[in-house]
Amino acid sequence: MSEKTAKGPAFEWWMVSNLAMGAGFSAFVALLIPPFVTESTGNAADAGIVMAIISLAAVLGPVLGGFADKYRAHRLVVSLGVLGMALAFAMYAISAEAKAILALDAILMGVSIAAVSAVAPVFIVGANLPKALEAKRLTTFNLIAPVGQVLGGALLGAAAAGGGSFVQGFWLAAVVMFLAFLITWFSSKKPAERIQLLESAPADDEEKKKSIGLGKVLFSMFGMYLLILTLSSLANNGLNNQIANILPNVFGVDQATVSGLISLAGLLNIAFLLAAGVWMGRKGPMPVFVTGNVFRLVGGLGLAILGMAAKSPLLIVAAFMQLFYQGNPLVRLTQPALAVRFATIPAGAASGWVIAASAMGSFLGSLLGGYLADSIGFNAVNWMAAIAAGLAVLLIVVSLLPAYRKLQPEEAPA
């Protein structure tokens, strides 16, 4: 590894693909599709179904990542993923004009999101970068998503202030995504070549080439890692999806305060992400990953215990809620780096499996959380999150940490 490469820039223009993810999924999808579907059908449950279709399409992550690895098509998959989001928003605009709800729109959106989510991180973790540069670029890559979220939200806010319709909102989103596609395509040639050069070099481990069957993926330490990610995602998304109901119904927090707490969590996420990037550059991804999951465990358990009391102090409730939310940037930052370390398959497919595991946890957490809230009460969601996060931490301690010490002894936590 050359000194120049080791001291490379934190930002590269292909990372605009993740800005597109932030603007597209976190702003345009979240702010346009649910209200459009609800207004069109008169049923909020239909909006949930459409969003579930989008989320479930992420299980195609391993297929898309594997295709990128097999044909050295990382640049093509990521770029087409951004273009696919542009086309999906255009299809939603046409559907809105016709006052129709089409599953095909949601499927295209979900597959496109999966393509970018699964393959874009491989430009970093698949290039065999020095530890510090890998951490620096992963931090920058993850920070760009909330920038896109702010940009997308501001654009839609301005459009709404001008009296814009759903049709105009979808066309605006399509134009932004298309511009991001152009930037991604024309800036991703060299990052893709870094992956190709690495993959065309002699394999350090011939077993890694052979171990690509489903059984060898799932029944391995990488499979254990995927199970941990599923449990952690179940905890995170199950609670996050109900937090706007949990805080008022369990703790008596008013909606204005709920919005303020969630906004504060987003701001703190940026600070924690920056700190985690520095920590990861010095100590490797595992300590950061463990800490993020412990945050989810302690935060969820604290909320569950407080929820059993007749009245809990708002400050303490807010503290546990924020602790839970700050697990997210730590886990998200380290997921692709750890995937490459444990995987018995190429980087693109490994990243795809990570996206699929997280999506499955999100889907299960949403379903189980909704069922528990309806049948038992909203504090049951807190207990669900605490138990799932606790199982994740237990599996990390008894299986993942010992395996990691053998793979990366110089990075292993003391």
Contact 235, 384 (CB under 8 A): yes
Q: 170-202: string of b/e by CB count within 10 Å (b at 16+)?
A: bbbbbebbbebbebbbebbeebbebbeeeeeee
Q: How far apart are CA 294 and CA 311, in angstroms?
A: 26
Q: Which pLDDT score, from 0 to 100, does residue 203 have?
A: 46
Longest dimension (CA), the chain: 64
Instruction: List, in order of start, the domains of the chain with CATH numbers.
Output: 10-201 (1.20.1250.20), 214-407 (1.20.1250.20)
pLDDT of residue 212: 52
d(CA 142, CA 15): 9
Which of 60, 53, 57, 78 has its CA nearest to residue 68? 78
User: Which whole-number Å values give the CA distances from 395 to 207, 342, 383, in the listed order?
Assistant: 25, 15, 18
205/194 Cα distance (integer angstroms): 19
Name, in order, each residue with C-beta under 8 angstroms of 408's C-beta and a sequence gap of 6 or more: 284, 286, 341
pLDDT of residue 210: 45
pTM for the whole thing?
Answer: 0.75
Residues with pLDDT less than 50, the chain: 1-5, 199-211, 414
Please enumerate in sequence order all residues whose Cβ is within 8 A of that of 303, keeping only pairs 6 or more positions apart, or say none: 239, 246, 250, 317, 320, 321, 324, 382, 385, 386
- Whole-number Å distance between alpha carbons of 156 and 172: 8
